Amino acid sequence: MKQLEERIARDGRVIGTEILKVDSFLNHQMDIALLDEIGKELYRLFKDRGITKVITIEASGIAIAVSAARCFNVPAVFAKKARSLNIGKDVYKARVHSFTYDNDYDITMSQNYLSASDTVLIVDDFLANGAALNGMISICEQAGAKIGGIGICIEKGFQPGGDEIRKKGYPLESLAIIESMDENGIVFRKQ
């Protein structure tokens, strides 16, 4: 997605060779016009898949899920990062490893809002090692829901998550894939 790549190149901040901050427009401050275009592009890519629900994980996926769900005219649901209270027994649950914090956490989703009759579009802001995405795939499997598509805004192509998930046969599309980056700039994978 040309517009997203250009925005990353212009406003993203590269720290070292692995960290990309896009918090001026995507996951802290959010540019709504860009979110709308991301929603439209995800709709263009997956509109023929019979999507009935868009899911993501709190927090930074929520704006993207809402923007996509508007185009598909379906509800969005976000998985919660589990805390100790107010989590009923009627939830799907998956363990996710955080490479940032080097710990594990659970994500949960109420069983009321995902079932075997759903065809899901999974969305998120970043894909690197695939830990969060594999958690969402697990939740879909627990529900018996079909995965109609996976739409990622920014894939770190130099980390293994994206290629591993493609090898498993999931319909993954990343709107921008970074091959490499450093203080001199960002190289995007040609798509």
**CB of 150 within 8 A of CB of 172?**
yes
**β 91-98/103-110 pair status:** antiparallel
CA 119 to chain centre: 16
Q: Pick from 42, 4, 36: which is nearest to 22 by CA?
A: 4
Pick the stretch among 73-81, 115-123, 155-163, 176-184 that binds a copy of itself (CB under 8 A).
73-81
121's tokens? 């579009």
Closest CA to 67 of 7, 109, 29, 26: 26
Binding a copy of itself (rule: CB under 8 A), the pick from 40, 45, 49, 66 is 66
CB 134, min distance to a copy of itself, A? 20
Q: Which of 4, 38, 42, 77 binds a copy of itself (CB under 8 A)?
A: 77
Which is nearer to a copy of itself, 47 or 168 (by Cβ)?
47
Residues forming a β-bridge with 181: 186
* Among the listed residues 37, 40, 45, 62, the single contact to a copy of itself using CB under 8 A: 62
Residue 83: Cβ within 10 Å count: 10
| From candidates 9, 44, 112, 115, binder to a copy of itself by CB under 8 A | 112
**Number of residues in contact with a copy of itself under rule CB under 8 A:** 35
Least Å distance between CB 122 and a copy of itself? 15
**172 vs 181, which CB is nearer to a copy of itself?**
181
Q: Fill in the DSSP letter of residue 99.
A: T
Taking CB under 8 A as the rule, does residue 179 contact a copy of itself?
Answer: no
The tokens for 97 are 């490893």
Structural contact between residues 163 and 35, judged by C-beta atoms closer than 8 angstroms: no
Q: Which residues bind a copy of itself (CB under 8 A)?
A: 23-24, 28-32, 35-36, 58-59, 62-63, 65-67, 69-70, 73-78, 80, 83-86, 100-101, 109-110, 112-113
